Amino acid sequence: MESTPSSFAGYFDAQFARDADPWRYRTSWYEARKRALTLAALPRDRYRRAFEPGCATGELSAALAPRCEALLCADFAPRAVQIARLRLAAFEHVRVERLAIPDEWPIGRFDLIVVSEIAYYVGEAGCPALAALATSTLEADGTLVCCHWRHGGEAWMLDSGDVHDIFASQAQRAALHRVVHTEDADFLLDVWSADPLSVARRERGR
C-alpha cells in the first residue's frame, strides 16, 4: 500500500481546484440514489444535534438539514468548506467548519453522526480513531451511519469492507446494535443504534 498523502487538505483541494464538483455530487444519479437510501435508513425522523465529518460540497448535508434541529458539517479542505458554506447558507441551523478529522473533533455529543465516503481516506491508524470518536460521542439514543463506495480509489485508501469491519467492531464495544446493513453493488451502508427495535416496533412502543 502506498503511504497516505502528507496533507489531506492539499489532496482534496487539488481535486476541487480542477472541478468545483469533482465527484459529481450534484449531477450523478448514483449520488442522488445513495443519499435517498441513506436518508431512508435513518431510524428516526428527527434529530437534535447531528455531525457530518467529510461533508465535501454539502449535498448530503442539505438533505440531512431538514431533519435536524442543529447540524455541524466539517471537511479537511478549505475549498470544500467554502463551497459547502455557500450550498448551505439557506439553513440557519447548519454550521460548516474546517476540521482535520480525526485529529480535530468537535466538542460535545451528537444523536446523529454520518460518516459517508470519508473513513477510507484517513488510513489504517486514522480509521479506528475515527470509529472510536464517533461511538464515544454518540448520545445514548443516537444513530451512527457509515456509508462507503465499494470500487476502490487511490492506492493508499483503505478498502470499504475493512472500514465497515472497523466500525462494526467499535460499535460492538460500545454496545450499539446494527439496525441496517445494506450491501449494494456500489456501496456499503450500515446503521447502528443503542436501541435494537425496528422502526415499526418503536412506533408501537415495544
- Measured in degrees and rounded to the nearest 5, phi and psi for residue 178 equal -80, 115
Integer Cα distance of 70 and 116 in angstroms: 18
Q: How much is the pLDDT for 172?
A: 97
Q: What are the angstrom distances between the C-alpha of 24 and each of 20, 66, 103, 141?
A: 9, 22, 28, 34
3-state secondary structure string across 25-54: CCCCHHHHHHHHHHHHHCCCCCEEEEEEEC
pTM, 2 dp: 0.90
Of how many residues is the chain composed? Answer: 206
Count the Cβ atoms, other than its own, within 10 Å of residue 142. 24
Q: Which range (18-27, 48-57, 177-186) has the least confidence? A: 18-27
Answer for the pair 21, 43: CB distance below 8 angstroms, yes or no.
Answer: no
Q: Model confidence over 63-72: pLDDT tens digits?
A: 999 999 999 9
Please give the backbone phi and psi of residue 112, each rounded to the nearest 5 degrees, phi first: -150, 125
pLDDT in tens, 121-173: 888 889 999 999 999 999 999 999 999 999 876 666 799 999 999 999 999 99
State the CATH class of domain 8-204: alpha beta
55 in Cβ contact with 35 (< 8 Å): no
Q: What's CA 161's distance to the chain center, in Å?
A: 15
Q: Which three cell numbers stand for residue 8?
A: 489531506
> Judging by beta carbons within 10 Å of its beta carbon (0-12, 13-18, 19+), is residue 175 exposed, middle or buried?
exposed
The C-alpha atoms of residue 141 and residue 92 are separated, in whole angstroms, by 25
Write down the domain spans for the chain. 8-204
Pairing of strands 47-53, 177-183: unpaired
Does residue 31 contact residue 57 with C-beta atoms inside 8 Å?
A: no
Residue 77 has pLDDT above 70, yes or no: yes
